Structure 1
């Protein structure tokens, strides 16, 4: 009896050990269940706390389409100032600068259009008639860079300041001199540069924003132009004028 009594505390101790170690082993195997229950109990014993509010998502308003691809910084600023004189801001709406026309021109110069990729550009070169259009050895991007640099050279010669530093009236006088061929460029009529720059400015004001200009479709909104609508089938038979919210090509992009 004494021997039996002496073993009982050891048996109880062994049973407790096996019980707790089994729980521990079970916790390893069934950690997802046991751990969840234990974690739940621990949370209940701690002070209730409000769940942390999710961090607000930052609103990124940067327009990544507005980046220089061809112009130097000085050329871009000159183009921006010259475009603003061709299409200035007034009571009807923003001008070429705000609409980003200079970015449009820059992107065009960096494209196949600027390198005359689809034009025959090999010699021999002959003096062309006015009705034959562009017949020069210059690529468009070369003509654009030459013209913008020449705006500054002429401005410095006449006013001792860069084009962007002279008054709007003086800028108009400089552009008029180029338009009338009163300025001599290297191997190209100044009016050829002016005509190309003027056309590109207007295109930048009214092109799809995808190409860098017409920021927020403000150029279209000034003209009540609907932009790139997918269809007019529901409106084409209506007799009254219908004012539609303009849409860009990007508005039809479906990547879902």
Structure 2
């Protein structure tokens, strides 16, 4: 074989190998990462990194159920939104994360009445004495939500979350005024507890799951957790951007 033929054959083999590597890289895709073939593929690593960072920034890992079932959570979403609905002033309870706040509270010490005396005997107390029963708050909520659904089916033949806003208001008003007769708990007692913890979720620090982005505070011009007011103490009322406990970390 002549020298020219040898050079021609060598060049053809080199081109053939390059084509094989290129085709193989396309065919195996992700499997080539970290291998010899993968090292030849120009992956857009910087773009992928930015995409992952953007995805993580939009996730709120505080919004996860710890106590409610999915069905219970839908009912709480609907009920709290009627107690504090979205309007021209700003977001409602749902957008402010109140249902998640309630779920997390019931999963913790609040739901277990860990700071309350819960031993018998149990007597019917005066209003000033507060709750005097044996059921824990998480148990009251579970019974209350079940009875809310039962009454909704009885009155409108639908799930509470499927009712119109007017129908939902009627159901809640019946609970508030004790028109609904329950054997285990007080209908008005459950409504008042639901209303109270809804307001807590609206105005608590976002650290606890509600008041997302501190918008509940903004609607009331509340400054949140400020370290001091030395820069505004000599002036009249001044609207300042609220701060969360997390801002001091």
| 1:36-64: CA deviation from partner (whole Å, max 9, x where unpaired) | xxxxxxxxxxxxxx9x8734422121100
The answer for the alignment partner of 1:115 in structure 2 is: 112
Equivalent pair of 2:178/2:186 in contact (CA under 8 Å): yes
Partner-residue secondary structure (3-state), 2:46: coil
Counterpart Cα distance in 1 of 2:111 and 2:232: 38
1:54 partnered with 2:46: yes
For 2:247, which of 243, 251, 255 is the aligned residue? Answer: 251
DSSP-derived class of the 2:109 partner: coil
Q: Do residues 202 (structure 1) and 199 (structure 2) align?
A: yes
Note the C-alpha offset of 1:230.
1.2
Deviation sequence 1:157-190 (CA, Å, 0-9, x none): 1111000011100000000010011112232211
- Correspondence for 2:208: 211
Report deviation, 1:202: 0.9
Task: Give the distance between the partners of 1:144 and 1:175, measured in 2 at CA.
Answer: 14
Could you tell me how far 1:237 is from its partner in structure 2?
2.5
Q: What is the CA-CA distance between 1:191 and the residue it aligns to?
A: 0.5
Write out aligned runs for 1:168-247 (5 A).
Answer: 168-238=165-235, 240-247=236-243
Cα distance between partner residues in 2 of 1:54 and 1:76: 39
Deviation at 1:154, TM superposition (A): 0.3
1:21 aligns with none
1:134 to partner: Cα distance: 1.2
User: Secondary structure at the residue paired with 2:153?
Assistant: helix
| Cα displacement (A) at 1:84 | 0.4
Single out whichever of 156-165 and 241-250 deviates more from structure 2. Answer: 241-250
C-alpha RMSD over aligned residues:
1.5
Residue 144 of structure 2 contacts residue 185 of structure 2 at CA under 8 Å; is this kept in 1?
no
CA deviation string 1:191-243 (max 9, x = no partner): 000000001111111111111111111111111111111111222222x2211
| Runs of 5+ consecutive residues of structure 2 not aligned to the other structure | 1-41
2:83 corresponds, among 83, 86, 103, to 86
Taking structure 2 as the reference length, the TM-score comes to 0.78
Q: Output the TM-score relative to the length of structure 1.
A: 0.76
